[in-house]
Amino acid sequence: MHPAPSVIVFTTLSGLGFGLLVWLGLGMPAVTGWVAFAFFVIAYGLAVGGLLASTFHLGHPERAMKAFSQWRSSWLSREGVCAVGALLVMGLYAAALVFLDTRIAILGWLGALLSLATVFTTSMIYAQLTTIPRWKTPLTPALLVAISLAGGALLAGQVSAALILLPVAGVIQVLWWVRGDGAFAASGTNMASATGLGSIGSVRAFEAPHTGTNYLMREMVHEVGRKHAQKLRAIALGLGFILPVLMLLVPFTHAMALFAVTSHVAGIVASRWLFFAEAEHVVGLYYGKR
């Protein structure tokens, strides 16, 4: 699929932001006053900034509020409900920490749960799609949740947790890639099933369905070279997971911590680009792309 910058920014930043809110809700780090204020500014800046970035990919951003009405059946709507709930609850929790120097544990736990649920519902928007076999796997929510928690641990200064979660997320990322490379073939989808003509015999394209590009081809039929993808995978794995772990193993300095966070974010951006660029939508079969 076409890797839209707005969706890459959204999934990267919001995952980090809500991941940090999870740790803050659990009381890690145990901060109050202006230090707590600084942590929440970062968390809200990432989470809200990511959510706002997602609206740039909407055909009619002014209709975004309508998404909240379909929470019974839509993961996108559930994501919106969870996000608003998490931000409101964590806002009250943050206010008590900053202005009253008091941690209201029940608010923190509830906010952490809603923040984690937001990341999960975001992942299910993609994991539910049968039309994109690479995404339709339990590994998709596992990957997004693991990256969110690992990135949140980095931002929250939870070194011990990050040293565990970063390798776990890295392993899930590799498994996701390996499984995804054969997902389209394993789905059994082909040109005959895509056109619905398989019952009458062998199906092949007589000529291209269009003389030019259209919306579906621009958004759903994106191809990335295998060599290019392999290089980006190495970059994503190295910057997103391996290098931050190495930085955390050396004696702690704020410069090293900042470098670890920066490296992680850069690696996740590469991972997210591949997440969309390598996704093969079955509509591509109609246009002879497989």
Orientation angle between helical segments 33-54 and 5-25, nearest 10 degrees: 150
Distances (CA, A) of 216 to 133, 285, 289: 17, 12, 12
Q: What is the mean pLDDT of residues 120-149?
A: 95
> Top-level CATH class of 5-287?
mainly alpha
Q: Is the pLDDT of residue 208 over 70?
A: no
Is the model more confident about 255 or about 14? Answer: 14
Determine the 3-state secondary structure of 209 from DSSP. coil
Q: Is the pLDDT of residue 216 over 60?
A: no
pLDDT of amino acid 107? 97
151-176, pLDDT tens digit by residue? 999 999 999 999 999 999 999 999 99
Res. 253 pLDDT band, cuts 50 70 90 = confident
Number of H helices, E strands in the chain: 12, 0
Instruction: State the chain's mean pLDDT as an integer.
Output: 87
Cβ within 8 Å of residue 138, ≥6 positions away: 127
In whole angstroms, give the CA distance from residue 159 to residue 165. 10
pLDDT of amino acid 52? 82
Res. 94 pLDDT band, cuts 50 70 90 = very high
Residue in 107, 98, 111, 99 with CA at minimum distance from that of residue 37: 98
pLDDT of amino acid 214? 60
pLDDT of amino acid 280? 84
pLDDT of amino acid 288? 62
